[in-house]
A and B are shown apart, each in its own frame.
Chain A
Amino acid sequence: MLQGWVIVVTSFAYLGLLFAIAYFADKRADAGRSVIANPYIYSLSLAVYATAWTFYGSVGRAAGDGVGFLPIYIGPTLMIALWWVVMRKVLRISKENRITSLADFVASRYGKSALLGGVVTVIAVIGIVPYISLQLKAVSNSFTIVLRYPEIIMPATVGEVPILQDTALWVALILALFTILFGTRHLYSAEHHEGMVAAIAFESLVKLLAFLAVGVFVTFGIYDGFGDVFARAAADPKLSPLLAPLEGVAGGYASWVWLTVLSMLAIMFLPRQFQVTVIENTSERHLNKAIWLFPLYMLAINVFVLPIAFGGRLHFPGGTVDADTFVLTIPMAEKQELLALLVFIGGLSAATGMVIVETIALSTMACNDLVMPVLLRMRGLRLNERPDLTGLLLGIRRGAILLILLLGYLYFRLAGEAYALVSIGLISFAAVAQFAPAVLGGIFWKGATRRGALCGLLAGFAVWFYTLLLPALARSGWLPIGLLEHGPFGVALLKPLQLFGLAGLDQITHAMLWSMIANVGAYVLASLLDTQGAQEHRQASLFVDVFTRAGEGAGARFWRGTASAADLHSLLARFLGAGAADETFRSYARAKGLAWPGEPLPADAEFVHHVETQLAGAIGAASARIMVASAVKEEALTLEEVRKILDEASQVVMYSHRLEQKSRELEAASAELRAANERLKELDRLKDDFLSTVTHELRTPLTSIRAFSEILNQDPRIELAQRRKFLAIITKETERLTRIINQVLDLAKIEAGRAEWSETPVDLRDLIGDTVSAMSQVFEEKNIRVEVRLPDRVPPVRADLDRIIQVLLNLLSNAVKFCDQVHGLIEVSLAEDDGSLRVDVRDNGPGISARDQQVIFDKFVQAGDALTNKPQGSGLGLYISRHIVEHHGGRLWVQSRPGEGACFSFTLPVMEAECATES
């Protein structure tokens, strides 16, 4: 039933379906409802990584090497975890600079160098050609095999088939046509190929489903689950070594590590991966999902590789069937027509997906970074005068697509037979890995220069060519095989597979080791020895500082020249078409608040930069640079001028720093003012309270005085004893009034700092003795015992004698007030203590609570509230005393526990020696 026409019709129907999906997606995009602005579609499109190599080749590799196929999938899984750091930056840079391809990225980073872009393009094309040939080989082989159904016959050797009867040629041509239809409908290459991405995502689903179907069929249909397959493989003496993880791989661990590294780089730098990951990306946020979805896809498509490989080995024990075809031949041997057809379509999916994206990416690079810069420089072509170049651009791209596929076919004819699918693919991986230093260095190392990148790329590529491509051609018989066995001209040290005598590694590991040493070495050395030009320096900081710099306008300052808006318009129209040019002008004018074409646009540096960026989106940064340079009269900036611009810029930065600092200072000042205002308000409140309290303290004795005066005045009949008592009260209250008035005056003077201090050397022993004896009458009256303990000799202190007496009197009269009513005891002692003298006045009263201890030194606070009798006093005594002591540089404090009396102490610093001798 699987006649040839069924297969052909199915294949074309499938391609038609892809086209329909692409068409639908493009229509949706035009209507503004993008299908691909979706993290799941994005992740699926990344799976374009899995090509016919994966679909057919993994099983082939596993059949020979066991788990040796795995590093190719472990690498991307590891790498994608780093994407949040690396790829996010690449994405941001590419969006801001309207990067159109990997070559454009490298060229743009190193000063918009057309040469560098061209080199990257050449390396990419040469490097990828084997990979494309791999797809052609896979599709044509699978087609040839499935055509013979139900027989299983391996395809004839390529060389034996005449070219026009070679399926691979026809596959190449059909794919070229299909890709041209797909990929060159739009010109603007920085925009998204919505249709293509949608179709690729669909293909990723198809190939996964087809592969899973075979896997399930082999594992559960033919055998009895994973355990059964592995058990049978382990029982087979030829297969059991494959189960030991690293046995099968030549070079062991080194090989695993290098293959993993290689595929880590491939997932970033394969042109098609760069295309779907960066150019087709619609949102940085999609990375979040892709970071776990893509590894999941990798896992799914690898689960059944080993069972199918073992199944194939067990099924075709003779070795007559190529292991690369097991995926297809097992269903055929089992007479599963539909499954075989599904597998064929799955393989076709994997191959077409790869070919379409890869050739679109390469053709963009070839056109923008290789052909156009050359054509534009050839003045004889007078391209500058042609009004519309869009046709030419599309033509170049279409030609490039066809050429690349034909090159792929050529490689297939030349070298395809000598290698298995995976080995061909790895050669391409190793080629694109050469981009890693220039790109990764370019986004993290500002010092990397154009010459450095160029040297690195060329050195790495040369080693790659010598150690991988040359041997491939030699093995296919196109070069003398002696080259491999004895080295060129018989120099054994230069043997391509054992360069400088390095043997014992597999070919890929060997090539990667030497090419990376050459590449990174040349890149770093040349960069360090080189100095950057102005353009280069600016691009370097645009790339490395992409997250810290403001948008695209940043580069515009480094341009000086004259341009006319009309020239710029005709330039854009030539490459983008008149409609797109109008739209560009209109949207720029809108952003500037102008109504173009009614109001003219100023052709200033910023606008020229904008036009160049737009143009770069179509023809790449390097070509755009050339075109803009030809359209406007530019004046080259000397290094001195660039330095001046940079100086200005740094002055602006400094100025803004200063402004920031000023505003911070102002903020601080206003905070201080607010605080000061608060303090003033607080002081005002305190003053108010103070007045109110003073008023109260004055009125209270006045009240008694007035009341008794009136009583005595109005009632002459009062007994004499009572009359005396009342008069005594009046006298006492008058004294109280006087005391308060004196203290308030004292306080006012001290607080205002106007108090006069007459300081003399004072002997505290004399002072204490005199003061205590002056108060002896009071002590006797209240029946209080006073104990004074003085040392024999103390050094003098410098103090105002009267005020220290005032302090001591205050402490003593407080002690008198509070000490025990019946057996009053007051102890006064003096001690020298570490450079100062300390006076203690201790009573045996009720003590002072901890809460009261904190406030008794405040104005108008009195202890003794707990007593039924309110003690007499103004509440100013301790406050003033503390002021006096502190004025002398001493301290006044209290120690007390309720029920155990109170001890007030104050210190005064001992006089300096020379002062003491003066006295």
Chain B
Amino acid sequence: MRNRVLIVDDEPNIVTALEFLLQQSGFEVAVAPNGEEGLRRVETFAPDLVLLDVMMPRISGYEVCRRMRERPEWKHIKIVMLSAKGRDVEVSKGVSLGADLYVTKPFSNTELVAKIGALLKGG
């Protein structure tokens, strides 16, 4: 069975790139352009892993992460935070909110896919 990955990001070009990349890598992919849509898709799509951009309008990636972690039935879903802001404070904030991984943009495609694979295998 193919693992499901949900991409939540407000940058359409980055979404296009990630979607293509992950589909190529054999994942079943869904996308959401903002936080609210992202939370709805978690519900309907039931992903195994969420790629979550931090800087999004209204509901930030942090907030989406926090809300997801409040729901025990979503506890198994892996969360990978993606952010163009790479300062230490932001990394530790993401981790403290329950993210499994924090990846700084720009990233290497191979590395990202490898890390996602590892996370899903480990869980």
Contact = CB atoms under 8 A, between A and B. Distances in A.
Interface string B47-69: 00000000101100000000000
A767 interface: no
Q: What does DSSP make chain A's interface, helix, strand, loop or mixed?
A: helix
A696 B55 contact: yes
B10 interface: yes
Interface in A821-869: 865, 868-869
A692 B85 contact: yes
Interface string A710-734: 1100110000000000100100110
Contact of B109 (A695, A701, A710): A710
A692 B87 contact: yes
B31 to A, nearest CB: 12
Contacts, number: 74
Contact of B14 (A692, A695, A707, A715): A707
Contacts of B58: 865
B21 A707 contact: yes
A704 interface: yes
Interface string A697-714: 111111111111011001
B100 interface: no
B105 interface: yes
A699 B106 contact: yes
B109 A704 contact: no
Interface string A865-900: 100111000000000000000000000000000000
A703 B20 contact: no
Q: Which of A695, A703, A704 has the most CB of B within 10 A?
A: A703
A235 B43 CA distance: 109
Contacts of B106: 699, 702-703, 705-707
Contact of B13 (A696, A715, A729, A868): A729
A703 B34 CA distance: 18
A733 B84 contact: no
B16 interface: yes
Contact of A707 (B18, B57, B84): B18
Contacts of A865: 57-58
B110 A710 contact: yes
Interface in A659-712: 692, 695-708, 710-711
A696 B11 CA distance: 12
A715 B24 contact: yes
Given A711-B17, A711-B20, A715-B24, A695 B85 contact: yes
Contacts of B33: 868-870
B122 interface: no
Given A868-B33, A870-B57, A700 B84 contact: yes
Contacts of B110: 710, 714
Nearest to A870: B10
A705 B108 CA distance: 11
Nearest to A715: B24
Contact of B108 (A710, A715, A868): A710
B116 to A, nearest CB: 14
Contacts of B84: 695-700, 703
B93 to A, nearest CB: 13
A519 to B, nearest CB: 88
B54 to A, nearest CB: 9
Interface string B1-35: 00000000011111011101100100000000110
Contacts of B12: 869-870
Contacts of A868: 33-34
A699 B83 CA distance: 9
Nearest to B87: A692
B117 interface: no
Q: Which of A704, A733, A869 has the most CB of B within 10 A?
A: A704
Q: Which of B12, B24, B84 has the most CB of A within 10 A?
A: B84
Given A695-B84, A696-B55, A710-B110, A702 B105 contact: yes
Interface in A210-248: none
A706 B82 CA distance: 15
Contacts of A733: 13
B110 to A, nearest CB: 7
Interface string B68-100: 000000000000000011110000000000000
Given A714-B109, A869-B12, A869-B33, A707 B85 contact: no
A703 B86 contact: no
Contacts of B86: 695, 699
Contacts of B16: 729
Interface string A520-561: 000000000000000000000000000000000000000000
B14 A703 contact: yes
Interface in A564-601: none
A696 B104 CA distance: 10
Contacts of A704: 11, 13-14, 17
B32 to A, nearest CB: 10
A714 B21 CA distance: 11
Contacts of B109: 707, 710-711, 714
Nearest to A868: B33
Contacts of A708: 13, 17
Nearest to B54: A696
Contacts of A707: 14, 17-18, 21, 106-107, 109
Contacts of B104: 699
29 contacts: A692-B85, A695-B85, A696-B55, A696-B85, A697-B84, A699-B86, A699-B104, A699-B106, A700-B11, A700-B84, A702-B105, A703-B105, A703-B106, A703-B107, A704-B13, A704-B14, A706-B107, A707-B14, A707-B21, A707-B109, A710-B110, A711-B21, A711-B24, A711-B109, A726-B17, A729-B17, A868-B34, A870-B33, A870-B57
Please give me the 4 A-B residue pairs with the lowest Cβ-Cβ distance, nearest first: A699-B84, A707-B17, A865-B57, A703-B105
Given A692-B85, A729-B17, 13 more contacts: A696-B84, A698-B84, A699-B105, A699-B106, A700-B84, A701-B13, A703-B11, A703-B14, A707-B106, A711-B20, A865-B57, A869-B12, A870-B33
Interface of B: 10-14, 16-18, 20-21, 24, 33-34, 55, 57-58, 84-87, 104-110
